[in-house]
Amino acid sequence: MPEVKIIAKNFMDMVASLPAMKLDKLYDNAFICEAILRSLPPLAKKYVLQMLYIDSPITAKSIEVWVLPDGYSKHRVAIDRLIQLRVFTETVDRRKETTYKINPTFQTNLQKLLTHGEVLPREPMPSNITVRLPSVEDLDVYAIGQWECFLLQLISSSSAQAERPSNISSSMMKVFQRGLLSQRDKEAPRLTESGFQFLLMDINAQLWYIIREYISNSEERGVDPADLISFLLELSFHVTGEAYNSNTLTEVQRNTIKDLADLGLVKLQQGRKESWFIPTKLATNLSVSLTDSASRKQGFVVVETNFRLYAYSTSKLHCEILRLFSRVEYQLPNLIVGAITKESLYNAFENGITADQIISFLQQNAHPRVAERIPTVPENVTDQIRLWESDLNRVEMTPAHYYDEFPSREIFEAACDHAREWNGLLWEDSKRMRLVVKAEIHIHMREHLRGQKQ
Amino acid sequence: MPSAPTKLYADDVSLLVVLLDTNPFFWSTSSLPFSKFLSHVLSFLNSILLLNQINQIVVIATGCNSCDYIYDSSLSTNPGIENGKLPALCSELLKKLEDFVTRDEQLNKQQSQSLPPTTTSSLLSGSLSMALCYIQRVFRSGPLHPHPRILCVQGSSDGPEQYVAIMNSIFSAQRSMVPIDSCYIGSNNSAFLQQASYITGGVYQKPQQLDGLFQYLSTVFATDLHSRTFLQLPKSVGVDFRASCFCHKKTIDMGFICSVCLSIFCKHHKKCSTCGSVFGQAQSDVASASNLKRKTPET
C-alpha cells in the first residue's frame, strides 16, 4: 500500500482515540477484542497471549527479559500500542516499579474465544427461505460495481450524472467530498490534491478513508461512533455470501446497513416475508485491512518502454483515473490505450500528484502478464517520470535573510561561523562581506550580532 | 527442489503443522491424561487461529502404525457451533481423531497376528514426511503463502529403526527452510527431536510441569518466525547426536562408516549393504580401529 498522507491515521488509531470509558465498553464485544488483537503488531499479540492466563500484574522488567537486546525498539512499540488501546494498564508503584496488567474484560473475552473457538456473530439463515442467493462471483461483481458507482458519483461534479441513484443523502455525499473536492463559488467543483491521491489508492485504503469519514460524521447524525465501530467490526466477522436476517439488527444498524449497501459492503435482498443482508468481500475484508492488508487484486495495466499504456478494463472509473496522468488515445470495449506524455504528467503534478504515487499505482495495478517481470514498469519510463517531476522542482525556495555592511572582517567571520554552527549558512561572499542565512535562525543571528556590538 | 519461497504474506502469518502423538503405549503410562492434553492443545490451536485471520493449521496424528491428517483449517468451511455444543474445530478434530485411533488399533492387531509386537514407538518419520509434503504443496500452490513451520508434540520414545527416514526428513526440512519445533512430553529427552530442532533452527523444549502445557505452548511455540528474531527463546542445552546403525537399528556411539555412502554399521562388514561397495580386508586391528568413529552426546 502506498504511503499516502491522507490516511496517516488508520482505523485502530481512531479506536485508540476514543475516550477510555467508551473503549472499555467496546471490549464487552468479543469480536472487537478479536479484531483489536489481530490488528496489533506481532510482538504485542505475543505478549497478550502470554499474559492471558496470568491474573496478577507483571513487572516491566520481567517482560523486558523476554526480548533480545536488538528487539528493544519493537518491544517499546508493542507496549505503547497496548497501553494506547487500553489492553494493558500501566501502574507505577511506590518503589518506582512499572507493572502491566491486562484489561480484565478483554482477558475474559479472549479466554472464552480460546476455549470455545471462534463463533459467528449471527446464525446464517437456512437456505430454504433464501432461495436466490447470488454466487460468490456475482457478489464480487456486485460489490465492485457498487463501489465504482459510488466513486464516480463522488468525483463527478454534479450528482445528476450518476447512472444509478443511490440513497446516500446528498449531505452525506458532501461529507465524503469534503477534503476531496474543492468548490470555488459558482465554478464546477475540482478535485483537490488529496482527491487525486485518493483515486490512486487501492480499494481497501479508499474504503477506509470513506468509512472513517462516515464514522467521524456519525455524531452529527445522532449515532454513537462506538456503536458504529463495533457494528462494522462485527460485520467483518460474518461469512461472505451467507444471508443474515435483518430482524437481528437494531434500528440504528438497519439504517447503517442501507448506507453500507450503497458502498457495496452488503447486498440487501427481500424475500416474501423476511429481508436479509449478504455481506460481500468488501465487508469481510474490513478487519483484514485494519492492518496492512496483503490482499492484492488482479491488475490490468501494461506499460511499454515507448511510454504507451494499455489498460484492459471496462471500468469507466479506471479510465478516469488513467486520464489523471496520461493522454487517453482511444477506447475499445475492453481496452483503454493511452500515452504517458510530458504534458499529461505536468498536468498531474500541477494537481498535486507525485511521481512516486503514479509509479506505485502503475506497479500495483500491473497486468498479471507483466507483474512477474522485474521491473513491472519499464525503468526508462519510471526514470523519465521522476526526471520530469524533478524538472519542475529545479528551483528550491528557502526563506532567508541577507546581511551586509559588516563593520569589520572579524565580526563578519564570527557571524559566518555562528551561522554555520546553527547549520543555517546559505551563501557568503567574503570579499564584499555579505552573507545570507536561513530565516529561522535570524533571531539567533541578531542576538549574536548585538552581543558583538557591545 | 524449489528454492526458498520469496513472496510471502505479512511477516507474522504462519502455517503451523502440528504432529500429535497418539501412541497408546505412551499415553497409558503418562502422568498427563490424554483428554487433558487434548484440551491444552485445542486451546493452543484456537489461539493460533485467533492471532491472525490468515493463519492456517494442519494437524497430523502420529499413531503407532500409521499417521493421517486429522484437521486442516483451510478446508473447514464453516466455523461456528455445530451440534449446538462444540465449535467446529473441536468436533471435527475429535471425530477424525477417534476414527484414526480405532483404525490404528486395528492395524496393530493385524500386525501382531503375523509378527510379535516389537515396537512401542510412534511413526514419527511418517508424519514428518506428510507434513513436509503438505508444505511443499503449499509452496507450489501460488505466489502467496504463509511462513510454514512444524511442531512435533511427541511423548513416546524414539524408534531407532526409523533413524534413516527421520534424518532424511530433517534434512529436507532444513533445505526448504522449515523449522521443526519440538515439545517433548515423555520422560527422557528425544535424540531425534533434539537433532531435528537443532538442524532446522527450531526450538526444542521439554516442559517441566505438564499441567501448564498450554502456557508452554503459547509462550514458546506460538511465536511466529518473524518475532523469533528478537525474542528470547529456550536454547538447547545439549543435543544427543548419536546415530542408529543401519544393520540392527541400534543406537550406537561408536561404529563403522562406509567411506562411499556414509552408512553406519555397528560391526565390520565385507560389503556395504546400502551402496554395495566392497570394503578391503581389515588389514589389521589398527586399521579397523581407525575406521571406528566415535560420536558422543554433546553436553
β-pairing verdict for B204-205 and B243-244: unpaired
Mean pLDDT value of segment A159-173: 56
**What mean pLDDT do residues A185-191 have?**
61
| Terminal C-alpha separation, chain A | 59
Between chain A and chain B, the number of residue pairs with CB atoms below 8 A apart is: 95
**pLDDT (average), residues A97-117:** 85
From A65, A75, A117, residue closest to B46, measured CB to CB = A117
Dist CA A265 CA A251 (whole Å):
18
Q: Smallest Cβ distance to A294: which of B9, B47, B87? A: B9
Cell triple for A66? 523476554
Instruction: Determine which of B40, B41, B43 to mutate to test the interface with A (most A C-beta atoms within 10 Å).
Output: B43
Give residue A448's pLDDT band: very low, low, confident or very high (50, 70, 90).
confident
With contacts defined as CB-CB under 8 Å, which chain B residues touch A287? 53
- Predicted confidence at residue A128, as pLDDT, reads 65
> Could A45 and B12 be called an inter-chain contact, meaning their C-beta atoms sit closer than 8 Å?
yes
Grid coordinates given for A240: 461472505
Note whether B226 contacts A42, CB cutoff 8 Å: yes
Residue B282's pLDDT is what? 54
Q: How far is A309 from chain B (nearest CA, A)?
A: 26
The answer, for A50 touching chain B at a CB cutoff of 8 Å, is yes
Per DSSP bridges, beta strands A434-438 and A400-403 are antiparallel
Highest mean pLDDT among A199-208, A403-412, B3-12: A403-412
Q: Cβ neighbours of residue A26 under 8 Å, at least 6 residues apart?
A: A15, A18, A32, A226, A229, A230
Residues in chain B predicted with pLDDT less than 70, given as ranges, are 1-11, 76-88, 114-119, 142-143, 281-299
Contacts of A426 (CB under 8 A, 6+ apart): A398, A400, A436, A437, A438
- Mapping DSSP onto H, E and C, the string for A317-362 reads HHHHHHHCCCEEEEEECCEEEEECCHHHHHHHHHCCCCHHHHHHHH
Cβ–Cβ under 8 Å, residues B221 and A46: no
Q: How far is A105 from chain B (nearest CA, A)?
A: 17
Using the beta-carbon criterion (under 8 Å), do B232 and A66 form an inter-chain contact? yes
Among the ranges A14-18, A395-399, B109-113, which has the highest mean pLDDT value?
A: A395-399
Q: Residues of chain A with pLDDT > 90: what percent? A: 6
The set of cell numbers assigned to A87 is 489492553
Nearest to A71 among B43, B81, B230 (CB): B230
3-state helix, strand, coil in chain A (%, to 5): 50, 15, 35
Q: Which residues, 6 or more positions from A276, have their beta carbon under 8 angstroms from its beta carbon?
A: A125, A130, A243, A244, A245, A246, A268, A269
A268-302 per-position pLDDT tens digit? 877 777 788 888 877 777 765 444 444 455 678 89
Q: Which domains does chain A have, with CATH numbers?
A: 5-116 (1.10.10), 136-284 (no CATH), 301-392 (no CATH), 400-453 (3.30.70.2610)
Note whether A74 contacts B12, CB cutoff 8 Å: no
Looking at CA atoms only, how far is residue B36 from chain A in angstroms? 13
- Chain A neighbors of B50, CB-CB under 8 A: 34, 37-38, 110, 113-114, 118
Q: What is the pLDDT of residue A158?
A: 44
**Most A CBs within 10 Å, among B7, B8, B14, B47, to test the A interface:** B47
Domain boundaries, given as residue ranges, for chain B: 14-228, 243-294
Interface of A with B in 201-240 (CB under 8 A): 239
A213 pLDDT more than 50 = yes
Mean residue pLDDT across chain A: 79
The residue whose grid cell reads 461483481 is A141
A37 touching B (Cβ < 8 Å): yes
- Confidence label for A210 from pLDDT (cuts 50, 70 and 90): confident
C-alpha cell at A422: 546553527
Nearest beta carbon to residue A42 from set B11, B54, B219: B11
Number of H helices, E strands in chain B: 9, 13
ipTM of model over 0.85: no
Instruction: Specify the pLDDT at position A6.
Output: 41
**Residue A324 forms contact with B (CB below 8 Å):** no
Q: Does A67 touch chain B (CB under 8 A)?
A: yes
Give the right CATH number for B14-228 from 3.50.50.60, 3.40.50.410, 3.30.460.20, 3.40.80.10.
3.40.50.410
Q: What pLDDT shows up at residue B63?
A: 87
